[in-house]
Amino acid sequence: MIVKEIEYKPIGIIHSPFNEPEGAPIQPSAARDIQGTVELFSEYVEGLKDLEGFSHITLIYHLHLSKPYSLHVKPFMDDTLRGLFATRAPSRPNPIGISTVRLDKVEGVILYIRDVDIVDGTPLLDIKPYVPEFDVREKIKRGWLNKKIHRLRKTKDNGRFKK
């Protein structure tokens, strides 16, 4: 059986100091100490039980401001056209973003987070605890990014993928 359509509903809203993609960091590791919050919709609050015991969480969200995708893109840290799936460009067939952020505290339906690279008002789809033993890999290869990764901390979103 082939699934032709999938529908997701937001479980909350992410808040950050970034009102638009342009000027935002392009990854959480380049957003060191930038603070934000996650406002979970009240019907999901019981799902936050035990989350505060984790130092980091992975947010999965809808990239609602991304323009339609192309299968070849110039990623932020490069001037060469690359295959879309060899990049983390936000304009994708399914515009889903992921960011692993630091969790400072949970108060009711509000999660206080740091290392935020997400635009204010972004719809949240899911939260998962970050567990290094599950998520960290050894002997990795960075592909074309290996020669560009040094640009990460200085590279900001320049608006090229915005609607």
Alpha-carbon gap, residue 20 to 56, rounded angstroms: 24
Supply the Cα-derived Rg of the chain in whole angstroms: 16
Alpha-carbon gap, residue 108 to 105, rounded angstroms: 10
Please compute the mean of the pLDDT values over residues 14-43 and round it to a whole number: 93
Q: Note the pLDDT tens digit of each residue in 97-154.
A: 999 999 999 999 999 999 999 999 999 999 999 998 888 778 877 777 777 777 767 7
Maximum C-alpha span of the chain: 46
Decide: 19 and 120 in contact? Cβ < 8 Å. Answer: yes
Please compute the mean of the pLDDT values over residues 38-51 and round it to a whole number: 98
Is it the case that residue 63 has pLDDT exceeding 90? yes
Please compute the mean of the pLDDT values over residues 54-82 and round it to a whole number: 94
pTM here is 0.88
Is it the case that residue 72 has pLDDT exceeding 80? yes
User: What is the percentage of the chain residues whose pLDDT exceeds 70?
Assistant: 99
Q: Note the pLDDT tens digit of each residue in 103-116.
A: 999 999 999 999 99
Structure tokens at 133: 């033993």
Query: Domain locations in the chain?
Result: 12-133+140-154
Assigned architecture for domain 12-133+140-154: Beta Barrel (2.40)
Q: Which of 49, 48, 39, 46 is nearest to 11 (CA)?
A: 39
**Polymer length in residues for the chain:** 163
Is it the case that residue 27 has pLDDT exceeding 90? no
Please compute the mean of the pLDDT values over residues 81-108 and round it to a whole number: 96
Q: Tell me which of 33-47, 68-82, 108-122 is least confident.
A: 68-82
Alpha-carbon gap, residue 163 to 160, rounded angstroms: 9
Alpha-carbon gap, residue 37 to 113, rounded angstroms: 6
